[in-house]
């Protein structure tokens, strides 16, 4: 906060600068918030002299509304610009805990509330921006989906909560700018909800709607079910936009540390997912090994059964040859019975052979699946090793940055100590200089006194010389 007291006579260059800055300021309670590049600078109104011409009084409603619109428009500019830059630097999907995103929704809520007409209910007067937002689905058909989703959310009980949820869903849909433009273009509908000099009815509303197009480059994901949107307090945090000279020195280092911490958290999360995948694959491999062992046992049993059947077949062949020989000599009815027994034995042998082929095919399939699982496990183990190496490297970089930050802090402390010592030495030199100046003045005064005494003695001597003559 800077205290500026301009002179009352004629304007100085400092007064001119203050006047020019005040023309670009926005009204905020007892302060004006001037735009200084990408930052805000607060000045008290009593300390600012604008122009010698008479201004409109601060009690004029039109003057106050115009300054409030300028205030909100400039805050929306800073909020949107800061959100886009921080989101692009972060490089990941934003969630509801991201501070710049929270401040953006607070600013948008203030913009939508500006100049709202109060509706009388049995509980008193009520101002809610949910009414204008409900109109969007009549203007843009795509908005009907998010409006229906907001109405179906079970945790929302107030119009303010539904309006906040609508803003978040519209940002996720990347059509917030389109919806706001369609709403602002229908001022005959908005006049039912807003005063004539409200932000949504003036040029500032169209400017903010145009600025919202830039938010289409960011990705956001919100979970509405667990979030309490009804009881949130919408207060703008101006500390995010005020310039701080002391903290700006370590901003770059803090940004690098934040980025490395985000990368470290991402790699750790990925490592946990890979570990879970490896455990699942290991469980599948164990299950396949058990199934393979079971199939091997079944195959051994089937082989033994086939050998037994082959032995029985040989025995049946021998018996059949013996029966054929005997049947040549025996009756025809006995030969028919033996032929039926032989056909049944052959049919039984064919079924057992088919069963063996099916078991062998299933075993081959299980073996190929096991080989694929082993290959996938090796690739995942390799990927896990690479991620662990990357995590170690990121931790090393984080340690290096911390060491660098401590070193810079130590150097800054040393430089502050050196500046303090130099200032003390300078003050001592100034004291000695003042003492020497005082001594010189005394010597000059003594010299003047001596000159006066010499002149007096000289005049006295001149008077005495004629008397002696």
Q: How far is CA 363 from CA 295, 304, 354, in A?
A: 7, 17, 14
Give the pLDDT score at 238: 72
H/E element holding 296? helix 251-329
Whole-model pTM above 0.85? no
CB atoms near residue 113 (< 10 Å): 19
The pLDDT mean for the chain works out to 77
Of the candidates 96, 123, 378, which has an alpha carbon nearest to the alpha carbon of residue 224? 96
Query: What confidence score (pLDDT) does residue 5 get?
Result: 35
Q: Please list the ranges in the chain whose pLDDT falls under 50.
A: 1-15, 17-39, 41-58, 122-124, 244-249
Residue 29 pLDDT = 40
User: Distance between CA atoms of 242 and 335, rounded to whole angstroms?
Assistant: 112
For the CA atoms of 433, 439, 441, 444, the dihedral, rounded to the nearest 10 degrees, stands at: -130
Both tokens of residue 455?
Answer: 């002149």
What residues form DSSP beta bridges with 27?
32
Domains and CATH numbers, the chain: 1-55 (no CATH), 61-243 (1.20.58.900), 253-405 (1.10.287.1490)
Q: Supply the DSSP symbol for 116.
A: B
State the number of CA atoms in the 13 A half-sphere of 276 facing the CB. Answer: 6
Question: In this structure, what is the dihedral angle of CA atoms 276, 282, 287, 290, given to the nearest 10 degrees?
Answer: -160
- Determine the pLDDT at residue 120: 62
Cα distances (Å, whole numbers) of residue 146 to 110, 171, 241, 262: 21, 11, 32, 31
Confidence (pLDDT) at 436 = 92
pLDDT of residue 429: 92
pLDDT of the residue at 27: 38
Contact 404, 298 (CB under 8 A): no
CA–CA separation, 106 vs 306, rounded Å? 80
């Amino acid at each position: 906060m800077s205290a500026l007291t301009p002179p009352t006579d004629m304007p100085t260059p400092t007064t001119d600068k203050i006047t020019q800055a005040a023309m670009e300021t926005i009204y905020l309670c007892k302060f004006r918030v001037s735009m200084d590049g990408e930052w805000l600078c607060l000045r008290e109104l009593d300390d600012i002299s604008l122009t010698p011409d008479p201004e409109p009084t601060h009690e004029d409603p039109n003057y106050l509304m115009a300054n409030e619109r300028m205030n909100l428009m400039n805050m929306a500019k800073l909020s949107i610009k800061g959100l886009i830059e921080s989101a692009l630097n972060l490089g990941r999907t934003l969630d509801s805990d991201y501070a710049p995103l929270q401040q953006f929704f607070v600013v948008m809520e203030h913009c939508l509330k500006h100049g709202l007409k109060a509706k009388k209910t049995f509980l008193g007067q009520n101002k809610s921006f949910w009414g204008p937002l409900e109109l969007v689905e009549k203007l843009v058909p795509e908005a009907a989906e998010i409006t229906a989703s907001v109405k179906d959310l079970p945790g929302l009980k107030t119009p303010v909560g539904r309006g906040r949820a609508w803003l978040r869903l519209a940002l996720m849909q990347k059509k917030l700018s389109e919806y706001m433009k369609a709403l602002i273009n229908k001022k005959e509908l908005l006049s039912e909800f807003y005063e004539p000099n409200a932000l949504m009815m003036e040029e500032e509303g169209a400017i903010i709607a145009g600025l919202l197009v830039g938010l289409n480059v960011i990705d956001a994901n919100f979970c509405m079910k667990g979030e309490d949107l009804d009881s949130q307090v919408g207060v703008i945090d101006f500390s995010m936009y005020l310039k701080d000279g002391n903290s700006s020195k370590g901003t770059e280092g803090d940004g690098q540390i934040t980025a490395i911490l985000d990368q470290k958290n991402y790699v750790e999360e990925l490592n946990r997912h890979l570990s879970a995948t490896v455990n699942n694959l290991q469980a599948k491999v164990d299950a396949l090994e058990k199934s393979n062992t079971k199939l091997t046992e079944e195959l051994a049993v089937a082989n033994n059964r086939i050998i037994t059947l082959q032995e029985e077949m040989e025995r049946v062949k021998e018996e059949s040859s013996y029966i054929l020989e005997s049947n040549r000599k025996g009756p025809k009815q006995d030969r028919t019975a033996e032929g039926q027994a032989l056909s049944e034995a052959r049919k039984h042998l064919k079924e057992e052979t088919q069963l063996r082929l099916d078991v062998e095919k299933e075993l081959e399939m299980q073996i190929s699946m096991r080989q694929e699982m082993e290959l996938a496990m090796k690739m995942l183990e390799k990927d896990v090793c690479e991620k662990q190496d990357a995590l170690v490297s990121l931790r090393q970089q984080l340690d290096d940055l911390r060491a660098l930050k401590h070193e810079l802090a130590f150097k800054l402390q040393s430089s502050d100590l050196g500046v303090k010592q130099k200032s003390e030495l300078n003050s001592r030199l100034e004291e000695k200089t003042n003492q020497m100046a005082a001594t010189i003045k005394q010597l000059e005064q003594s010299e003047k006194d001596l000159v006066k005494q010499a002149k007096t003695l000289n005049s006295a001597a001149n008077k005495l010389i004629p008397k002696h003559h």
